[in-house]
Structure 1
């Protein structure tokens, strides 16, 4: 299989470096260029401090390009680059991604700038593959949405959902490397408030749960009550969920539906199972899973499936109320890994 040359937008941030990690040995993509801010542009890639706990992979010896340069697209075309993965902040992504797509480079974005925009599909492969349409621009969802939306979608196959309540405990890495390396935050002195996170999560849940007709998504219409909070954990977002349904379902029906969720495990980043069900979630032990096995010493440079499944546990059902907690790796499945998985899915549709 020939590999497609790609641009990574993000040199020093956690998502950008997760993208470098996951694309270093990817069978479908080859890193052709990395672009960053004016602070990193012009530097050699290997001179940038490596922020991830896993060691720096073997990466091409590249000079970092300026993501904000008006000739970035031209530079990419000269290098034979057809695809871009964006780990940029939304404020920057809005202009940079637009210039790239207008020049004929397909963009897969982790930024929120273009989510829920008509003509720009926002897809979680296990939930709304039917939202796929031909585009030059695709968006992944908010990291917090992943452990919420996948089990909620399973419930929606069994009965009508009336409301979804969620409270999150989100890792420091979700706010970037600065907070992850902040001694006070690591010691527990962290501001729990996450600006606009609850609103984004609610809107995106209704969007991916909605129906597509003539290129337009009509969001689902169940009620939502979302609270998002930051806690002093390095990695991993956990959500505590209560779903009210129109009709009662059994525990076995719920678990059977979770187990039958369609996964695209034939894709390099596709988990073996979408959901790894446990009795009770242990955040330290359950961060890395492919759906079957938990890894204590993961090597995500080689094993693209580990960290791509979510974990669901603490399930209880009382009448029409289904309660559970769910957990996922926020910078892997919730960000860079999920974005690469989306790109694999799109290319498989275009094959």
Structure 2
């Protein structure tokens, strides 16, 4: 299979570097260009500080392109770039992603700028692949949504849901690399409020669980209450969920539903199982799951499945109430890994 020639939008941020890490040896995609901000444009890629805890992989010798340049689309054309993977901030994504899509480059975006926009599919492969259609622009979801919606979607198949209450504990890396180097934040002095996070998670939950007709999404109607907070953990978002169902669900029925989620494990980034069930979640030991096994010294450049599983534990059933906790790697499954997974699915289905 010929690898698709790709541009990564993001040279120095966590998501941009996770994309570099995941694509450098990917069997379906080839990194042919990197675009960054004014502060990195013109520099060699190897000169940019590496922010991730794993060693820098053997990246191609590239000079970083200015993402804001009016020449970006021409350079993509000259390099025969077909796909762009965006780890841009949302404000920058608005104009840059639009220009690339209009020039004929298919954009896969981790930014929130075009999420839920008419005609732009926002898809989690296990949840709403039926929302996919041919497009020049695709979006991944908010990182906090991932450990919530995958169990919720499974439960929704075995009973109508009357209400959902969720509280999150979100890692420092969700706010960018700077907090990972902030000793005050690492020691626990971190502002817990995350502006707009609960509202985004709520809206995106209803969107991906909604129905589609003529490329228009009708959001699901569910009673949902969400609160989000930042904590002093480097990586990993954990959610604490309580669901009221219309009918009582047995433990065996629930477990079978959770294990029955389609997970596209045939794709390079597809986890072995969408949900990795444990008795109790350990945020350190359970960060890197491939849906069946935990890695303790992972190489995400070669093992594309690790970090892609959702870990679910602390499951309690009481009448029509189901409570649980779920956990996922926020910069892998919740960002770069999930975005690449989406692109794999789109390419496999020949939508571009």
- The TM tier, using the shorter chain, reads over 0.9
> By how many angstroms is 1:248 displaced?
1.0
Residue 321 of structure 1, CA deviation: 1.0
Deviations 1:271-295 (A, max 9, x none): 0100000000000000001111100
What is the CA-CA distance between 1:214 and the residue it aligns to?
A: 1.6
Correspondence for 2:187:
187
Alignment of 1:27-106 (within 5 A): 27-106=27-106
Distance in structure 2 (CA, Å) of the matches to 1:288 and 1:175: 20
Deviation at 1:319, TM superposition (A): 1.2
Q: Give the ranges of 4+ consecutive aligned residues of structure 1 lying more than 3 Å apart after TM superposition.
A: none
Aligned length: 351
CA distance in 1, matches of 2:340, 2:324: 28
Give the equivalent residue in structure 1 for 2:138: 138
Q: Name the structure 2 match of 1:166.
A: 166
SS in 2 for 1:229: strand
Deviations 1:210-234 (A, max 9, x none): 1111211111101110000000000
Counterpart in 1 of 2:350? 350
Distance in 2 separating the partners of 1:210 and 1:321: 23
Q: State how far apart, in whole Å, the 2-side matches of 1:24 and 1:294 are.
A: 23
Give the match for residue 285 of structure 1: 285
C-alpha displacement at 1:242, in angstroms?
Answer: 0.6
SS at match of 2:283: coil
Q: Which residue of 1 aligns with 2:257?
A: 257
Deviation at 1:55, TM superposition (A): 0.2
Name the SS for the 2:302 alignment partner.
coil
Q: CA deviation at 1:251?
A: 1.4
CA distance in 2, matches of 1:2, 1:214: 33
Cα deviation digits, residues 291-332 of structure 1 (max 9, x gap): 111000001110000000010000001111110000000000
Spell out, residue by residue over 1:105-145, the C-alpha distance to the aligned partner (whole angstroms, 9 max, x if none): 00000000000011000000000011011100000000000
CA distance in 2, matches of 1:260, 1:17: 33
Distance 1:233 1:180 in 2: 9
**Does 2:200 align with 1:205?**
no
Cα deviations by residue, 1:36-95 (Å, 9 ceiling, x for unpaired): 000000000000000000000001110000111111011011011010000000011000
C-alpha distance in structure 2 between counterparts of 1:58 and 1:340, whole Å:
19
**Distance in 2 between residues matched to 1:165 and 1:251, nearest whole Å:** 20
Name structure 1 gaps, 5 residues minimum: none
Could you tell me which residue of structure 2 aligns to residue 326 of structure 1?
326
- For the residues of structure 2 that align with 1:179 and 1:223, how far apart are their CA atoms? 34
- Over the aligned positions, Cα root-mean-square deviation in angstroms equals 0.6
Distance 1:52 1:221 in 2: 39
Taking the aligned partners of 1:220 and 1:244, their CA distance within structure 2 comes to 16
| TM superposition score normalised by structure 2 | 0.99
Q: Give the gaps of 5 or more residues in structure 2.
A: none
